Amino acid sequence: MTGYQEKQGILHVENVPLPKIAQMAGTPCYVYSASSIRSQFSALKAALEKALPENRAPLLCYACKANSNIAILRLLQTLGSGLEIVSEGELFRGLEAGFRGEHIISTSFGKNPQEIQACLEAEILQFNIEAWIELEQVNQFAAMAGKTADVLFRLNPDISGGGHSKISTGRKEHKFGNSEAKIIEMYRRAAGMRHVRPVGISVHIGSQVTTVESFRPAYEALANLVKKLRSEKLPVERLDIGGGFPIAYEKKNALLDLDAFAQWVADIILPLNVDIQLEPGRYLVGNAGILLTETLYVKETDDRKFLVLDAAMNDLIRPALYEANHGIRPVVTHADRPAQKYDVVGPICESGDIFASQREMTEMRKGDLIAIESAGAYGFSMASNYNSRPFPAEVLVDGDHVAVIRKRQSLQDLIRGETIPEWLR
Ligand SMILES: Cc1ncc(COP(=O)(O)O)c(C=O)c1O
């Protein structure tokens, strides 16, 4: 994980020791390294720029479902990123963070009328369409607003991608995208509508796509479809080639060869003479974040030791939902302590509230701080209040700068908006 290193036995994020952050923000809390996000953004951009001509640089639209804190969005906006959104809430966050509509694309599934209207009002760059009704509604609301909206259609290439069944999106049985035949039909129909302008196609086969060869057939399917559409004189000027770029959660994880990936984009997409867009999420922020947590105690049963943390599955659902393996390391190294095997768990009343099973680490004691690694993507953004646990704080570190970018929820925050009806008072 770039941005994190041990200095004199203490884990630091950039120049700041993590115990200092625990003192300042409490635990559990999410901690993010700004320089790590910058370097991931530059690495992806540089690989693409190396393979593509200067005037054909793709628009990188950060998929903010990965981490939608407005400070993180602002950071990416200052780097020149665009934004991919999937809800009215994400649009709101993006605008608050300073993104202009012309750099925002909506890829939401099941667009609702209010969201469509908000996107039209913000004059976003495009709607990626999932279904007929979405197309009709965008046309209808654009007509009411006296506007014309650019639309792309999401292809379902029937290709398996994604590191887990729950984050694979490109197979026929998944709800996402449409067949080639259906897209051609939608495209024809859109071409006859007055308030939408069909401009292209999109594809996103899944997340954490470690089988890197999966991208190639998906892009080839896009290229085939472009040719078919053009043969009917239907204009294709933009291709959104999705996200899904993996990060290493474990050392053994295969990683995408960015240069090879960029070369495929150059070989397959570039000759189509279209504007290219990408939607990276996890890749930009995943390894920039940790979940900082404190050991509540160690519980020993007849056959195992449970390391009980003050963070739980409501703070980080990935192990429970995706069977994800996150690195778990002590913040302070105690070379004098023996190794132990722990089931690392949180305080929630679910057996599924487990971060790791039989994980070997140095002996931990009450009060010891622990970093759960690679938690910058789909960490806080998937957190819940289950068991009435307040959302943790979020902290951004940039060199020597440290800021709480979201304060911990209070108990009052937990019941905000709830009322006891009059007849029960
Ligand atoms: C349409 C779309 N684009 C981009 C992404 C971002 O994926 P990743 O974070 O794996 O890059 C997702 C993730 O769900 C998505 O659904």
Domain that holds residue 378: 4-32+286-415
Output the 3-class SS for the chain.
Answer: CCCEEEECCEEEECCEEHHHHHHHHCCCEEEEEHHHHHHHHHHHHHHHHHHCCHHHCCEEEEECCCCCCHHHHHHHHHCCCEEEECCHHHHHHHHHHCCCHHHEEECCCCCCHHHHHHHHHCCCCEEEECCHHHHHHHHHHHHHHCCCEEEEEEECCCCCCCCCHHHECCCCCCCCCECHHHHHHHHHHHHCCCCEEEEEEECCCECCCCCHHHHHHHHHHHHHHHHHHHHCCCCCCEEECCCCCCCCCCCCCCCCCHHHHHHHHHHHHHHHCCEEEECCCHHHHHHHEEEEEEEEEEEECCCCEEEEECCCCCCCCHHHHHCCCCCEEECECCCCCCEEEEEEECCCCCCCCEEEEEEEEECCCCCCEEEECCCCCCCHHHCCCHHHCCCCEEEEEECCEEEEEECCCCHHHHHCCCCCCHHHC
**Which residue lies with its CA nearest to atom 4 of ligand 1?**
243
Assess whether 172 and 196 both reside in one domain: yes
Assess whether 206 and 295 both reside in one domain: no
Q: Closest ligand 1 atom, CA of 208?
A: 10
* Distance from the alpha carbon of residue 327 to the mean position of ligand 1, in angstroms: 22
CATH number of the domain where residue 406 is located? 2.40.37.10
* Distance from the alpha carbon of residue 67 to the mean position of ligand 1, in angstroms: 11
Which of 280, 315, 331 is the last residue in one of the domains? 280
Cβ–ligand 1 distance for 177 under 6 Å, the answer: no
Average pLDDT for runs of 10 along the chain of length 425: 94 98 98 98 96 94 98 98 98 98 97 98 98 97 98 90 70 87 97 98 88 82 96 97 90 80 92 97 98 98 97 98 95 96 97 97 98 98 98 98 98 98 97
Mutate which of 279, 282, 284, 285 for ligand 1 pocket (most atoms within 8 A of beta carbon) = 279
* Distance from the alpha carbon of residue 84 to the mean position of ligand 1, in angstroms: 9
42 within domain boundaries = no
Annotation says 349 is catalytic: yes
Assess whether 237 and 167 both reside in one domain: yes
* Distance from the alpha carbon of residue 24 to the mean position of ligand 1, in angstroms: 33
378 within domain boundaries = yes
Which of 234, 261, 280 is the last residue in one of the domains? 280
User: According to the model, what pLDDT value does residue 157 have?
Assistant: 87
Cβ–ligand 1 distance for 289 under 6 Å, the answer: no
Is residue 364 within 8 Å of 330, Cβ to Cβ?
A: yes
- Longest Cα pair distance anywhere in the chain, in angstroms? 74
Mutate which of 37, 76, 207 for ligand 1 pocket (most atoms within 8 A of beta carbon) = 207
Omega before 28 within 30 of 0, i.e. cis: yes
**Which residue lies with its CA nearest to atom 13 of ligand 1?**
207
User: According to the model, what pLDDT value does residue 420 have?
Assistant: 98
Cβ–ligand 1 distance for 283 under 6 Å, the answer: yes
Assess whether 314 and 349 both reside in one domain: yes
325 within domain boundaries = yes
* Total-model pTM: 0.96
Tokens for 154, please give them. 């999401």
**148 CB-near residues (< 8 Å, 6+ apart):** 142, 194, 195, 196, 197
Which of 280, 301, 321 is the last residue in one of the domains? 280
Cβ–ligand 1 distance for 85 under 6 Å, the answer: no
User: According to the model, what pLDDT value does residue 309 have?
Assistant: 98
Assess whether 336 and 267 both reside in one domain: no
137 within domain boundaries = yes
Q: Report the domain count for the chain.
A: 2
56 within domain boundaries = no
CATH number of the domain where residue 161 is located? 3.20.20.10
Cβ–ligand 1 distance for 286 under 6 Å, the answer: no
Separation in Å, CA 180 to CA 152, 184, 228, 298? 13, 6, 9, 55
* Distance from the alpha carbon of residue 312 to the mean position of ligand 1, in angstroms: 24
User: According to the model, what pLDDT value does residue 167 have?
Assistant: 67
60 within domain boundaries = no
Is residue 255 within 8 Å of 208, Cβ to Cβ?
A: no
